[in-house]
Amino acid sequence: MRLRLELCDLSLASLDGLEVDTLAAFVGSERPLVGLPALLDWRLAGAVSRSILDGTVTPEHGEALLLPTGGRLLAGRVLVFGLSDPSPRTVALAVRHACEALRRAGGKAVGISLPAGGSQAAAARAWVEASASAGFARQVLLCDIRGPLAPTLEAAARDLGVAADVVRVAARAESPTG
């Protein structure tokens, strides 16, 4: 079976139209929030920020928080993972942990934004390796689709001997009001 990795632009329009059952994002110590955590926070009326402020989720490695979306997104749930150390080894461990948590949570169609920064190769390799056996029906990676993630994922799959198709998908043209 071939692994299909869909790349979708990281934007509110993409997030609003993304047909997945579970979304996953990584939260570090950066404030204000950036990337997918910031977009999720906006759509979930500050739920990510409130969870950080009240200590429910911290940037510590291994921390995880499940948030319902309350119908604000097509996905029914969001998993937020803490990531305090951007080193390649820690990023790889966090990505593997996230993939396993998504699998255990029963995710079939998942969307994730890999940790940003200098550890993208480690994150991509860890995701390809972990998701190859996770059994997801659909995997969407939210990112800058014009950036280097596609060739990085392809190289990781090739190095690991995983048959994979990395495809860029367009966001839907309109975003719901709000």
Q: What is the pLDDT of residues 98-145, one digit of tens each?
A: 999 999 999 999 999 999 777 899 999 999 999 999 999 999 999 999
Q: How far is it, in rounded angstroms, from Cα 162 to Cα 7?
A: 17
- For the chain, the structural domain boundaries read 3-169
**What residues have CB less than 8 Å from 107, skipping those under 6 apart?**
20, 21, 22, 136
Per the CB < 8 A criterion, the answer to whether 40 and 25 are in contact is yes
The backbone torsions φ and ψ at residue 17, rounded to the nearest 5 degrees and listed phi first, read: -100, 5
Residues in the chain: 178
Per the CB < 8 A criterion, the answer to whether 80 and 102 are in contact is no
Per the CB < 8 A criterion, the answer to whether 95 and 120 are in contact is no
Beta strands in 22-63 (DSSP E): 22-27
Distance spanning both ends of the chain, measured CA to CA: 40
Q: What is the pLDDT of residues 17-55, one digit of tens each?
A: 999 999 999 998 888 999 999 999 999 999 999 999 998
Q: Look at the domain 3-169 and name its fold.
A: Leucine Aminopeptidase, subunit E; domain 1 (3.40.220)
Angle between helices 120-131 and 149-160 (to 10 degrees): 50
Is 173's pLDDT higher than 50? Answer: no
Rg of the Cα trace of the chain? Answer: 15
Q: How far is it, in rounded angstroms, from Cα 86 to Cα 28?
A: 9
The pTM (predicted TM-score) of the whole model is 0.92
